[in-house]
Structures are given as structure tokens and as C-alpha cells.
Structure 1
Amino acid sequence: MDTSLANAALRQPIVDGTNYSLWKVKIRYYIKSIDEQAWQRVINGWTPPKRVDEDGDSLIKSESDWTTDEVQVSNYNSKALNVIFFSVDMSMFSLIMNCTSAKDAWEILQKHCEGSESVRRTKLRMLASKFENLRKEETETITDYDRRLREIEN
């Protein structure tokens, strides 16, 4: 394969707040292409391993005390978080820069760009209405009509 084509295929998309819906689809598969377990950290989250001290209190383990499995799960989270950090512009990065969990960063970006659940329901109702009122224009080609349909679908 041509290396320029390979590099273009592996270039991660950048979100600036205006292209979130496209970015979300692309970045999901970008993370999955790196490691499926990294994507699982976005879905399921990650917290630092803990231990219980002699008083029964739960404390975060020192990294030097982590098991091999704990290090591996942390590594998956770090891979996903790294991809997310480097795929947002500076204004979006300021929203997530203190996140230690890929899931937390993902959810902050989603809420910021898509809004709350009620906002998403309103947007969905608007799209449903747009779909119901969609008609092919006399001068419109099938390709153009199909493009408009797919924009609503996406």
C-alpha cells in the first residue's frame, strides 16, 4: 500500500465542537484499531486500583504495587485517553485535560457537544420531523436526494 494512503488512513480526526457527530464515529474506530480493549475502557471506564488498609479504609494503590493485570487495564485506558487528548482542539482539550479516565473524557465531550438527554431528545424529534417532511425536489438528482437523506440518518 502507498505509505501516504496508509498515513492518511491512520490520521486521527480532530474535533472542534462543530464536527462532533462525525468525529465520534471516526474516533471510535480509530481507538478500536489501536486496541479493542482500549475502546472497552471508553465504554466501561477505569479507576486506579485500590487496596484496603489495616483500618478498613480504601486507598489508591501505589503504581509500583499494581498487578500485571492492573497495569494492562491502565495501559488500555491510557491509550484511549491519549487518542482523545490528541484528537481535540485546544478549547475542547481544556474541558477534559484533568481527566484520568477515557470514559470521563468521552462523556464530558459528549455532553458538551450533544447536550443533556433532554436536548438530545429534542434534536431527535427535530430530525424525525425533518425526515417526515423530506421530499425529492423536481430539479434534484437522486444522488443529491440520497445525500440529504444520509445526512439526516447520520
Structure 2
Amino acid sequence: MASVSSAGNVQPQLPRFDGKNFEHWKIQMEVLFGFQELTEIIEEGFVEPEAAADSTTEEQRTIKENRKKDRKALFYIFQAIDSSIFEKVANSKTAKEAWDTLIKIYKGVEKVQKVRLQTLRRQYELLQMEKSESISDYFSRVLALVNQMKANGETFGDQQIVEKILRTLTLQFEYIVTSIEESRDLSVLTVDELIGSLQMHEQRLKEKSKTVEEALQSQ
């Protein structure tokens, strides 16, 4: 979308970078630079020339135009980043300097995130409920890992988490898992609803086990 300034000029709606999904934001900004005819000034940069008395009118016009393009590109970059990120490029004198700084910082960050995410995905795939573990404790482990993955760029919906938990419960929950899968639509079943159902079943198992134990002791 675009907005219209008080002067009647169409102003582009800038993509916003908050420190996540840098590559996605970078692609959007590159399209914007291309549309605004600023790609060359971003890639090659602008160097303020020393004053020359013998420069022609045409040369002066070109310098002025490139200076304006550089200011415009730098303005777009500053407007498209959050305040915490702005501090990293606030001292940049040209658009190319600011752009190159962001690429240097966040390309490295994304690389680290990708490596970290691969490790977390492997941990998630291998995650299983332990025999001595309660439903509450297992859910806490799963959600802690999911939150770490989200922080590193992974996207999760409730259905993915629900299906993962149902697949990895211990055998004592086999009956309730089958019941849930046959009677509930997993695409709309929330994580909170699932934990409620499983904790109720867990409580029944504990009460049944306690009753059996008391009966054996009384014999």
C-alpha cells in the first residue's frame, strides 16, 4: 500500500524490520530501491566530491541529483527499521554505508539462527514423553522447545504441537489418544484443550492406581 503526502506525492508503504526475517525484509527493500531508481546509489555509494571551480553545470547537476538520491535512500532505510536497530546505523553518512552495515550484522545473525534452528529441530523430532514424567512437565518441555524455535524464526500452529504431543505420549495414554483422534478435529483443537483432556485422564489413572494399591494392602 502507499500513502499520499500533503504535497500530493505518493509515498511508498515501507516494510518494517524488527530484527527478524532479515532476508525477507532485504528483498522487499531491494524492490523498493529499484522502483525508486535508487539501486545504483545503494550498490555503488555516493562520495561527496571536493569543490571544483572548473566543474561544468552538467557535472554539478549530476552531483546534486546523486546527493539527493543518497539522502532519499538513507531516509527510507532509517524509516524502515525499529529504533533499537537504528542505533546500529545512526552514524552512517551514506545509504550504502547504512545498508552494508545492516547486511554485515544481520546476515551473520541469520546464519547463526539457521544453525541453531537445525539443532532445535532435531531435538524436537526426537522429543518423547518419559515414563516417569507428568503431563504438565512434558507439556512444559515441549512448549519451552517450541518457544526457542519460534525465537529462531520457526513458525508453529497449535495443530502441529497437538499432533506432536499425541504421537509422543507414553503407552498409558494410548486409549485417550485414540479417543481424541477419533472424536476431535485436530485442526481446531487447541494446546490448552489438549492438556486439559490429558490431565483429566492422568488424574483418573492415578486414582485407579491408588484404589488398586489400597485394595492390595487391605488383603
Interval of TM-score (by shorter of Structure 1 and Structure 2): 0.5 to 0.7
Separation in 1, partners of 2:24, 2:74:
19
Query: Which residue of the other structure, out of 69, 79, 91, is the alignment partner of 1:86?
Result: 79
Matches within 5 A, 1:54-93: 67-93=60-86
Alignment equivalent of 1:114, drawn from 107, 117, 141: 107
How big is each residue's C-alpha offset from its partner over 1:73-98, in whole Å with a ceiling of 9 and x where there is no partner? Answer: 11111111111010000011111111
SS at match of 1:108: helix
Aligned to 1:50: 50
User: C-alpha separation between the residues in 1 aligned to 2:63 and 2:93?
Assistant: 15
Q: Per the alignment, in what secondary structure is the counterpart of residue 92 of structure 2?
A: coil
Measure how far apart 1:16 and its partner are.
Answer: 1.1
Matched residues, percent identical?
A: 25
2:35 paired residue number: 33
Quick one: structure 1 residues 91 and 73, their matched pair in 2 at CA, closer, same or farther if it must change by over 3 Å?
Answer: same
Runs of 5+ consecutive residues of structure 2 not aligned to the other structure: 4-10, 53-58, 119-219
TM alignment of 1:99-110, pairs within 5 A:
99-110=92-103
Residue 88 of structure 2: aligned partner: 95
| Count of residues in correspondence between the two structures | 108
**Structure 1 residue runs without a partner (length 5+):** 53-65, 130-154
Distance in 2 (alpha carbons) for counterparts of 1:30 and 1:88: 14
Distance 2:98 2:78 in 1: 8
Q: For residue 87 of structure 1, what is the amino acid of its counterpart?
A: A
1:107 and 1:6 map into 2 onto residues whose CA distance is: 26
How far off is 1:30 after superposition?
Answer: 1.2
Map 1:4-23 to 2 at 5 A: 6-7=2-3, 10-23=12-25
The runs of 4+ residues in structure 1 deviating greater than 4 Å are none
Indicate the structure whose relative CO is greater, using CA pairs within 8 Å and at least 6 residues apart.
1
Question: CA distance change for structure 1 residues 79 and 18 in 2, over 3 Å: closer, same or farther?
Answer: same
Residue 51 of structure 1: CA displacement?
4.2
Mapped partners of 1:19, 1:94: distance in 2 = 19
Q: Which residue of 1 aligns with 2:204?
A: none
What is the deviation of 1:104? 0.6
Q: In structure 1, give the amino acid aligned to 2:23.
A: S
Alpha-carbon distance, 1:123 to partner: 7.6
1:91 and 1:40, CA in 2 relative to 1: closer, same or farther beyond 3 A? Answer: same
SS in 1 for 2:88: helix
In the aligned structure 2, how far is the partner of 1:20 from the partner of 1:71?
A: 32
